[in-house]
Each structure stands twice: as structure tokens, then as C-alpha cells.
Structure 1
Amino acid sequence: MHEGESEGEERRKKVREKEEEEEEEEEEEEEEEQEQEEEEEEEEEEEEEEEEEEEEEEDKSAVTGLDWNRVVSTNTRAQVQTKSPLGKTW
């Protein structure tokens, strides 16, 4: 009788260990899924921000009818051609 009881206890221990391992694996998988979801959300937010920035740039060029890159380049040329206090042209 004593041997049968110890075998049953060993089986229960093994079953418990397997259940604990499975629970740990499930928790790890859930954590990984949450991390992936968070990363995907961050990527989506970044993409939305980029799209908004592009739309704002398009809106600016539509309002003025000018390409903002050209405006910047002409402004830098104008600054380069300014005169110094000594009367020299840059």
C-alpha cells in the first residue's frame, strides 16, 4: 500500500510541474504578444505623425503656391548676398 501511495504522489507532482510550466509558457507568450502589440501601436502612431507632417507641408505649398524648399533656398541666397558692416559682399 505504501508503494502505491508514493507512485501516486510522484504522478501528481509531475502533473503539477507540467501545469506550472504550461502556465509560465502561456504568461511568456502573452507578454510577447503585448510587447508586439505595443510596438505595432508605436509604429502606427509614428506613421500617422509622418502623414500629418506631409499633409501640413502640402497644405503650406497649396496656400502659397510655392515649394517651401525653393523658398528656403532663395532665402539663403538672399542672406548670402547681404553686405557686411564693412561694406563687403558675402
Structure 2
Amino acid sequence: MFRISLTAARINAELEQADAALKMEIPAETLSNYERGITAIPGLILRRAAKLYGISEEVIKLPIVNDGHYDDFFCISIPFKGI
């Protein structure tokens, strides 16, 4: 499957970082952190980016980020029942 980075998707959509961030309703610095892999992008923002860039979110290649935080908005707690 063809995949594209978040930065390349934005550039292909002919958007400057500040303009894209404004349209996604996030600070430009936050978008920069997502693009550089400093902070993991939440699913909600990924969906906004994909829609804004006119592509499917499945084709966006995201960097692996271990920032110690979870996307709480989309995490579901599943009780452990043991083995």
C-alpha cells in the first residue's frame, strides 16, 4: 500500500503549516510536533488532517512515538479477566 507522511500530505494539499493548523483548530507548533514525530497525533486530529488534505487516513504514514501519553479520547478500557 502506498503511504505518505503527514508533512508530505500537507504539502501535496498545497497548505502551509500555519494554515493547516488553523483549519484543524490546533496550534501550529502542535502540528509541527505531530509532523516531526515528537508527539503522537490523536485519532480525531488525524481524521481532520486526512479530510483537510483530501486523502484517506489509512495512507498517512505516522512516525512511532513513545511520548508516554495515550490518546485518552479514543482509549477503551477492557477489564482483564485473567487466563
Is TM-score (shorter-chain normalized) higher than 0.5? no
Bigger radius of gyration among the two: 1
Structure with more relative contact order (C-alpha pairs < 8 Å, separation 6 or more)? 2
TM-score by length of 1: 0.22
TM-score by length of 2: 0.23
* Greater helix share, structure number: 1
